[in-house]
Amino acid sequence: MCHGNSALEWNVAKDFPVEELLEQDKIPSVHIKFNLPVSCPEIPWSDLEDVLDRRTKKPKILGSGSFGIVKLMKHQSSGKLCAVKINKDDIEEPTVIENLQLEVGVLTRLKHLDCVPELFGVTIPGNNSQVPVMVQEFIGDPKTFRSTMLAIAIEAKVLPPLKAKRVALRICEALRDIHSAKLLHCDLKNDNIMLEPGFVRKDNPKVKIIDFGKAVKMDDKPRYQYNARDQMSWIMKCCSHLAPEVVRGEKPYNVSSEVYGLGVVLKDLSKHFRGFLWQLGEECTDADYRKRPSVEDVIHKIKSHLTSIQGAASQLAAP
Ligand SMILES: Nc1ncnc2c1ncn2[C@@H]1O[C@H](COP(=O)(O)OP(=O)(O)OP(=O)(O)O)[C@@H](O)[C@H]1O
Ligand SMILES: [Mg+2]
Protein backbone atom coordinates (compact mmCIF):
# COMPACT_ATOMS: atom_id res chain seq x y z
CA MET A 1 0.00 0.00 0.00
CA CYS A 2 1.42 3.38 -0.84
CA HIS A 3 1.78 6.07 1.75
CA GLY A 4 1.51 9.00 -0.65
CA ASN A 5 1.32 11.41 2.25
CA SER A 6 2.54 14.82 3.15
CA ALA A 7 5.30 13.56 5.40
CA LEU A 8 7.44 16.58 4.66
CA GLU A 9 4.91 18.77 6.39
CA TRP A 10 5.58 17.19 9.75
CA ASN A 11 8.90 18.90 10.08
CA VAL A 12 10.38 21.74 12.04
CA ALA A 13 7.85 24.52 12.72
CA LYS A 14 7.98 27.29 10.14
CA ASP A 15 8.99 30.04 12.56
CA PHE A 16 11.68 27.96 14.20
CA PRO A 17 15.05 29.76 14.32
CA VAL A 18 16.80 26.82 12.65
CA GLU A 19 19.87 28.70 11.38
CA GLU A 20 20.50 30.24 14.76
CA LEU A 21 20.18 26.97 16.64
CA LEU A 22 22.29 25.15 14.08
CA GLU A 23 25.06 27.69 14.64
CA GLN A 24 24.81 27.12 18.36
CA ASP A 25 25.00 23.39 17.68
CA LYS A 26 21.61 22.92 19.30
CA ILE A 27 20.01 20.98 16.48
CA PRO A 28 21.70 17.77 15.42
CA SER A 29 22.21 18.01 11.67
CA VAL A 30 20.35 14.71 11.19
CA HIS A 31 17.13 16.63 11.92
CA ILE A 32 17.75 19.10 9.14
CA LYS A 33 19.07 16.54 6.68
CA PHE A 34 16.06 14.28 7.13
CA ASN A 35 13.48 16.90 8.02
CA LEU A 36 12.67 15.49 11.47
CA PRO A 37 11.00 17.24 14.40
CA VAL A 38 13.71 18.93 16.42
CA SER A 39 12.40 17.60 19.69
CA CYS A 40 13.53 14.10 18.76
CA PRO A 41 17.02 13.31 20.17
CA GLU A 42 19.74 11.63 18.14
CA ILE A 43 21.11 8.56 19.89
CA PRO A 44 24.64 7.42 18.95
CA TRP A 45 24.57 3.86 17.61
CA SER A 46 27.52 3.08 19.89
CA ASP A 47 25.25 3.82 22.88
CA LEU A 48 22.94 0.95 21.87
CA GLU A 49 23.74 -2.71 22.42
CA ASP A 50 21.99 -5.88 21.32
CA VAL A 51 19.98 -7.71 23.94
CA LEU A 52 20.42 -11.47 23.71
CA ASP A 53 17.50 -13.85 23.75
CA ARG A 54 17.68 -15.75 27.05
CA ARG A 55 17.23 -19.12 25.31
CA THR A 56 19.00 -18.86 21.96
CA LYS A 57 21.69 -16.37 23.09
CA LYS A 58 21.19 -14.59 19.78
CA PRO A 59 20.10 -10.92 19.42
CA LYS A 60 16.45 -10.72 20.35
CA ILE A 61 14.16 -9.93 17.42
CA LEU A 62 10.77 -8.55 18.44
CA GLY A 63 9.09 -8.68 15.08
CA SER A 64 9.68 -8.69 11.38
CA GLY A 65 7.86 -7.73 8.25
CA SER A 66 8.24 -6.53 4.70
CA PHE A 67 10.29 -3.52 5.96
CA GLY A 68 12.92 -5.54 7.91
CA ILE A 69 13.15 -6.37 11.60
CA VAL A 70 12.47 -4.81 14.98
CA LYS A 71 15.32 -5.51 17.40
CA LEU A 72 15.39 -5.35 21.17
CA MET A 73 18.33 -3.18 22.24
CA LYS A 74 19.57 -1.53 25.41
CA HIS A 75 20.36 2.16 25.60
CA GLN A 76 23.51 1.99 27.66
CA SER A 77 23.49 5.55 29.06
CA SER A 78 19.99 5.27 30.48
CA GLY A 79 19.73 1.48 30.87
CA LYS A 80 16.39 1.59 29.03
CA LEU A 81 15.26 -1.24 26.79
CA CYS A 82 14.25 -0.13 23.31
CA ALA A 83 12.70 -1.41 20.13
CA VAL A 84 14.72 -0.43 17.06
CA LYS A 85 13.33 -0.89 13.56
CA ILE A 86 16.11 -1.92 11.17
CA ASN A 87 15.21 -1.67 7.50
CA LYS A 88 16.16 -4.23 4.89
CA ASP A 89 18.90 -3.10 2.52
CA ASP A 90 16.69 -3.40 -0.53
CA ILE A 91 14.05 -0.93 0.63
CA GLU A 92 14.42 2.31 -1.27
CA GLU A 93 15.89 5.13 0.74
CA PRO A 94 13.23 7.76 -0.09
CA THR A 95 10.51 5.37 1.13
CA VAL A 96 12.39 4.75 4.37
CA ILE A 97 12.95 8.45 4.93
CA GLU A 98 9.36 9.40 4.15
CA ASN A 99 8.14 6.74 6.56
CA LEU A 100 10.55 7.87 9.23
CA GLN A 101 9.46 11.51 8.93
CA LEU A 102 5.86 10.44 9.21
CA GLU A 103 6.25 8.11 12.21
CA VAL A 104 8.59 10.43 14.11
CA GLY A 105 6.15 13.30 13.51
CA VAL A 106 3.19 11.28 14.71
CA LEU A 107 4.89 9.91 17.83
CA THR A 108 6.10 13.42 18.68
CA ARG A 109 2.57 14.75 18.34
CA LEU A 110 1.22 11.93 20.52
CA LYS A 111 3.93 12.00 23.15
CA HIS A 112 1.46 13.07 25.86
CA LEU A 113 -0.45 9.79 25.46
CA ASP A 114 0.16 6.68 27.52
CA CYS A 115 -1.30 4.43 24.85
CA VAL A 116 1.51 4.93 22.30
CA PRO A 117 5.16 3.95 22.70
CA GLU A 118 7.52 6.67 23.81
CA LEU A 119 9.92 7.77 21.09
CA PHE A 120 13.40 7.87 22.59
CA GLY A 121 15.02 9.24 19.47
CA VAL A 122 16.63 8.31 16.17
CA THR A 123 19.89 6.51 15.49
CA ILE A 124 21.93 5.70 12.44
CA PRO A 125 22.49 1.93 12.52
CA GLY A 126 25.98 0.59 12.08
CA ASN A 127 25.33 -0.87 8.64
CA ASN A 128 25.93 0.63 5.22
CA SER A 129 22.91 2.86 5.42
CA GLN A 130 23.25 6.46 6.53
CA VAL A 131 19.52 6.71 7.12
CA PRO A 132 18.36 7.09 10.72
CA VAL A 133 15.83 4.73 12.28
CA MET A 134 13.48 5.12 15.23
CA VAL A 135 14.38 4.08 18.75
CA GLN A 136 11.22 3.50 20.76
CA GLU A 137 10.21 2.26 24.16
CA PHE A 138 10.13 -1.56 24.38
CA ILE A 139 6.61 -2.73 25.16
CA GLY A 140 7.11 -5.94 27.02
CA ASP A 141 8.46 -7.61 30.10
CA PRO A 142 11.89 -6.21 31.03
CA LYS A 143 12.83 -9.45 32.81
CA THR A 144 11.80 -12.10 30.30
CA PHE A 145 11.94 -9.79 27.22
CA ARG A 146 8.58 -11.19 26.17
CA SER A 147 6.18 -8.92 24.36
CA THR A 148 2.61 -9.75 23.38
CA MET A 149 0.72 -8.61 20.33
CA LEU A 150 -3.06 -8.71 20.71
CA ALA A 151 -3.21 -11.17 17.79
CA ILE A 152 -1.05 -13.66 19.73
CA ALA A 153 -3.06 -13.29 22.95
CA ILE A 154 -6.30 -13.99 21.06
CA GLU A 155 -4.88 -17.11 19.40
CA ALA A 156 -3.52 -18.31 22.76
CA LYS A 157 -7.03 -17.84 24.26
CA VAL A 158 -5.66 -15.95 27.26
CA LEU A 159 -8.36 -13.28 27.17
CA PRO A 160 -11.59 -14.63 28.69
CA PRO A 161 -14.80 -12.61 28.02
CA LEU A 162 -14.58 -10.09 30.87
CA LYS A 163 -10.92 -9.37 30.24
CA ALA A 164 -11.52 -9.12 26.49
CA LYS A 165 -14.18 -6.44 27.17
CA ARG A 166 -11.77 -4.49 29.36
CA VAL A 167 -9.07 -4.71 26.70
CA ALA A 168 -11.64 -3.59 24.13
CA LEU A 169 -12.46 -0.54 26.25
CA ARG A 170 -8.77 0.37 26.45
CA ILE A 171 -8.38 0.09 22.69
CA CYS A 172 -11.41 2.33 22.11
CA GLU A 173 -10.11 4.92 24.57
CA ALA A 174 -6.70 4.84 22.88
CA LEU A 175 -8.32 5.41 19.50
CA ARG A 176 -10.43 8.27 20.88
CA ASP A 177 -7.27 9.95 22.25
CA ILE A 178 -5.43 9.53 18.95
CA HIS A 179 -8.40 11.07 17.14
CA SER A 180 -8.46 13.93 19.66
CA ALA A 181 -4.93 14.73 18.50
CA LYS A 182 -6.42 15.05 14.98
CA LEU A 183 -4.76 11.89 13.70
CA LEU A 184 -6.13 8.77 12.05
CA HIS A 185 -4.10 5.58 12.52
CA CYS A 186 -5.39 4.01 9.26
CA ASP A 187 -3.95 0.56 10.04
CA LEU A 188 -5.68 -0.48 13.25
CA LYS A 189 -5.47 -4.27 13.57
CA ASN A 190 -4.46 -6.93 16.09
CA ASP A 191 -0.84 -6.93 14.93
CA ASN A 192 -0.56 -3.25 15.75
CA ILE A 193 -1.93 -3.48 19.27
CA MET A 194 0.37 -4.59 22.07
CA LEU A 195 -0.64 -5.71 25.54
CA GLU A 196 1.41 -4.37 28.40
CA PRO A 197 3.06 -6.97 30.65
CA GLY A 198 0.92 -8.34 33.46
CA PHE A 199 -2.23 -8.43 31.34
CA VAL A 200 -3.04 -12.00 32.39
CA ARG A 201 -2.84 -11.17 36.08
CA LYS A 202 -4.18 -7.61 36.12
CA ASP A 203 -7.90 -6.84 36.15
CA ASN A 204 -7.42 -3.79 33.96
CA PRO A 205 -4.87 -4.63 31.29
CA LYS A 206 -3.25 -1.74 29.43
CA VAL A 207 -2.66 -1.57 25.72
CA LYS A 208 -0.42 0.40 23.38
CA ILE A 209 -1.07 1.13 19.74
CA ILE A 210 2.01 0.85 17.50
CA ASP A 211 2.95 1.27 13.85
CA PHE A 212 1.87 4.72 12.73
CA GLY A 213 3.42 4.19 9.31
CA LYS A 214 0.11 4.83 7.55
CA ALA A 215 -1.28 7.54 9.81
CA VAL A 216 -2.78 10.72 8.38
CA LYS A 217 -3.54 14.11 9.87
CA MET A 218 -7.26 14.85 9.86
CA ASP A 219 -6.54 18.36 8.62
CA ASP A 220 -4.58 17.12 5.63
CA LYS A 221 -5.99 16.65 2.18
CA PRO A 222 -8.24 13.53 2.34
CA ARG A 223 -6.29 10.40 1.38
CA TYR A 224 -7.90 7.92 -0.97
CA GLN A 225 -6.70 4.41 -1.79
CA TYR A 226 -6.35 3.73 -5.48
CA ASN A 227 -6.64 0.01 -6.16
CA ALA A 228 -7.04 -1.73 -9.49
CA ARG A 229 -10.51 -3.20 -9.88
CA ASP A 230 -9.25 -6.78 -10.18
CA GLN A 231 -7.25 -6.41 -6.96
CA MET A 232 -10.03 -5.11 -4.74
CA SER A 233 -11.48 -8.43 -3.62
CA TRP A 234 -7.97 -9.72 -2.87
CA ILE A 235 -7.19 -6.60 -0.78
CA MET A 236 -10.49 -6.91 1.10
CA LYS A 237 -9.56 -10.48 1.96
CA CYS A 238 -5.97 -9.92 3.03
CA CYS A 239 -6.58 -6.53 4.69
CA SER A 240 -9.89 -7.31 6.30
CA HIS A 241 -9.44 -4.41 8.72
CA LEU A 242 -9.81 -1.86 5.93
CA ALA A 243 -13.28 -0.46 5.33
CA PRO A 244 -14.73 -1.62 1.99
CA GLU A 245 -15.58 1.93 0.86
CA VAL A 246 -11.91 2.89 1.36
CA VAL A 247 -10.62 -0.14 -0.56
CA ARG A 248 -13.03 0.65 -3.40
CA GLY A 249 -11.66 4.21 -3.43
CA GLU A 250 -15.11 5.72 -2.83
CA LYS A 251 -14.22 7.41 0.46
CA PRO A 252 -10.95 8.65 1.92
CA TYR A 253 -9.69 7.33 5.27
CA ASN A 254 -11.87 8.89 7.95
CA VAL A 255 -13.20 8.30 11.43
CA SER A 256 -15.88 5.85 10.29
CA SER A 257 -13.33 3.74 8.39
CA GLU A 258 -11.27 3.68 11.58
CA VAL A 259 -14.40 2.46 13.44
CA TYR A 260 -14.62 -0.34 10.87
CA GLY A 261 -11.07 -1.45 11.78
CA LEU A 262 -12.02 -1.23 15.45
CA GLY A 263 -15.04 -3.47 14.74
CA VAL A 264 -12.81 -6.13 13.19
CA VAL A 265 -10.65 -6.04 16.33
CA LEU A 266 -13.75 -6.36 18.58
CA LYS A 267 -14.97 -9.35 16.59
CA ASP A 268 -11.58 -10.99 16.76
CA LEU A 269 -11.40 -10.40 20.50
CA SER A 270 -14.71 -12.23 20.94
CA LYS A 271 -14.41 -14.89 18.24
CA HIS A 272 -14.06 -17.72 20.76
CA PHE A 273 -17.24 -16.79 22.68
CA ARG A 274 -19.17 -14.19 20.61
CA GLY A 275 -21.86 -12.37 22.67
CA PHE A 276 -21.90 -8.62 23.43
CA LEU A 277 -18.50 -7.73 21.98
CA TRP A 278 -19.17 -9.61 18.77
CA GLN A 279 -22.49 -7.79 18.33
CA LEU A 280 -20.77 -4.45 18.88
CA GLY A 281 -18.13 -5.47 16.33
CA GLU A 282 -20.92 -6.19 13.83
CA GLU A 283 -22.33 -2.69 14.34
CA CYS A 284 -18.90 -1.13 13.79
CA THR A 285 -18.36 -3.11 10.58
CA ASP A 286 -21.71 -2.20 9.02
CA ALA A 287 -21.26 -2.10 5.25
CA ASP A 288 -22.98 1.28 5.31
CA TYR A 289 -20.46 3.61 6.95
CA ARG A 290 -23.26 6.02 7.95
CA LYS A 291 -24.72 3.38 10.28
CA ARG A 292 -21.50 2.77 12.20
CA PRO A 293 -21.40 4.12 15.77
CA SER A 294 -18.89 6.76 16.83
CA VAL A 295 -15.92 5.77 18.99
CA GLU A 296 -17.57 7.62 21.90
CA ASP A 297 -20.75 5.54 21.40
CA VAL A 298 -18.73 2.33 21.47
CA ILE A 299 -16.97 3.42 24.67
CA HIS A 300 -20.32 4.28 26.26
CA LYS A 301 -21.81 0.90 25.29
CA ILE A 302 -18.89 -1.08 26.69
CA LYS A 303 -18.85 0.93 29.92
CA SER A 304 -22.62 0.48 30.45
CA HIS A 305 -22.31 -3.23 29.71
CA LEU A 306 -19.44 -3.63 32.17
CA THR A 307 -21.41 -1.74 34.85
CA SER A 308 -24.45 -3.94 34.30
CA ILE A 309 -22.55 -7.23 34.54
CA GLN A 310 -20.68 -6.03 37.61
CA GLY A 311 -24.01 -5.03 39.18
CA ALA A 312 -25.48 -8.45 38.43
CA ALA A 313 -22.42 -10.17 39.90
CA SER A 314 -22.62 -8.20 43.15
CA GLN A 315 -26.36 -8.94 43.45
CA LEU A 316 -25.64 -12.64 43.12
CA ALA A 317 -22.93 -12.38 45.76
CA ALA A 318 -25.24 -10.56 48.17
CA PRO A 319 -26.48 -12.72 51.07
N1 LIG B 1 7.86 -0.86 20.72
C2 LIG B 1 7.78 -2.17 20.50
N3 LIG B 1 7.92 -3.04 21.53
C4 LIG B 1 7.82 -4.38 21.31
N5 LIG B 1 7.63 -4.94 20.09
C6 LIG B 1 7.49 -4.13 19.03
C7 LIG B 1 7.55 -2.71 19.17
N8 LIG B 1 7.40 -2.15 17.95
C9 LIG B 1 7.23 -3.18 17.09
N10 LIG B 1 7.27 -4.36 17.72
C11 LIG B 1 7.12 -5.69 17.11
O12 LIG B 1 7.54 -5.63 15.75
C13 LIG B 1 6.42 -5.93 14.86
C14 LIG B 1 6.52 -5.07 13.60
O15 LIG B 1 6.52 -3.70 13.95
P16 LIG B 1 5.61 -2.65 13.19
O17 LIG B 1 4.18 -3.05 13.34
O18 LIG B 1 5.96 -1.30 13.68
O19 LIG B 1 6.11 -2.85 11.70
P20 LIG B 1 5.26 -3.03 10.34
O21 LIG B 1 5.46 -1.79 9.59
O22 LIG B 1 3.86 -3.46 10.70
O23 LIG B 1 5.79 -4.18 9.53
P24 LIG B 1 5.00 -4.86 8.33
O25 LIG B 1 5.84 -4.58 7.15
O26 LIG B 1 4.93 -6.29 8.72
O27 LIG B 1 3.65 -4.23 8.24
C28 LIG B 1 5.18 -5.66 15.69
O29 LIG B 1 4.07 -6.39 15.24
C30 LIG B 1 5.65 -6.09 17.10
O31 LIG B 1 5.56 -7.49 17.24
MG1 LIG C 1 2.57 -3.51 12.07
Give one DSSP letter per residue of the chain, joined into a string: ------GGGGSS-TT--HHHHHHTT-S-HHHHHTT--TTS-B--GGGEEE-B-TTT-SBPEEEEETTEEEEEEEETTTTEEEEEEEE-TTS-HHHHHHHHHHHHHHHHHTTT-TTS--EEEEE--SSS----EEEEE--S-TTT---EEHHHHHHTT---HHHHHHHHHHHHHHHHHHHHTTEE-S--SGGGEEEPTTTTT-SS--EEE---TT-EETTSPP------GGGHHHHHHHTTTS-HHHHTTSS-S-HHHHHHHHHHHHHHHTTTT-SHHHHHHHHHT-SSGGGSPPHHHHHHHHHHHHHHHHHHHHHHH--
Tell me how many degrees the CA angle 172-151-125 measures, rounded to the nearest 5: 95
| Residue nearest to ligand 1 atom 26, measured at CA | 65
User: What pLDDT, on the 0 to 100 scale, is given for residue 8?
Assistant: 39
One-letter amino acid of 68: G
User: What pLDDT, on the 0 to 100 scale, is given for residue 9?
Assistant: 43
Span from the CA of 90 to the centroid of ligand 2 (angstroms): 19
User: What pLDDT, on the 0 to 100 scale, is given for residue 306?
Assistant: 96
| Residue nearest to ligand 1 atom 22, measured at CA | 211
Q: Which residues of the chain have pLDDT under 70?
A: 1-28, 127-128, 316, 318-319
| Residue nearest to ligand 1 atom 8, measured at CA | 83
Enumerate residues lining ligand 1, CB below 6 A. 62-63, 65-67, 70, 83, 117, 136-140, 147, 149, 191-192, 210-211, 213
* Cβ proximity of 218 and 182 under 8 Å: yes
Residue of 2, 53, 62 best suited for mutating to test ligand 1, as the one with most atoms within 8 Å of CB: 62
Can you give the pTM of this predicted structure?
0.90
Ligand 1 closest atom vs CA 136: 1
User: What pLDDT, on the 0 to 100 scale, is given for residue 10?
Assistant: 46
Residue 275 contacts by C-beta under 8 Å, 6 or more apart in sequence? 161
User: What pLDDT, on the 0 to 100 scale, is given for residue 25?
Assistant: 65
Span from the CA of 210 to the centroid of ligand 1 (angstroms): 7
* Cβ proximity of 113 and 40 under 8 Å: no
Span from the CA of 39 to the centroid of ligand 1 (angstroms): 23
User: What pLDDT, on the 0 to 100 scale, is given for residue 32?
Assistant: 82
Span from the CA of 242 to the centroid of ligand 1 (angstroms): 18
Residue of 95, 102, 191 best suited for mutating to test ligand 1, as the one with most atoms within 8 Å of CB: 191
| Residue nearest to ligand 1 atom 4, measured at CA | 139
User: What pLDDT, on the 0 to 100 scale, is given for residue 19?
Assistant: 64
| Residue nearest to ligand 1 atom 5, measured at CA | 62
* Burial classification of residue 130, based on how many CB atoms lie within 10 Å of its CB (0-12 exposed, 13-18 middle, 19 or more buried): exposed
Torsional sign, CA 22, 26, 29, 31: negative
CB atoms within 10 A of CB 85: 23
Could you read off the pLDDT of 45-65 as tens digits, one per residue? 999 999 999 899 999 999 987
User: What pLDDT, on the 0 to 100 scale, is given for residue 5?
Assistant: 41
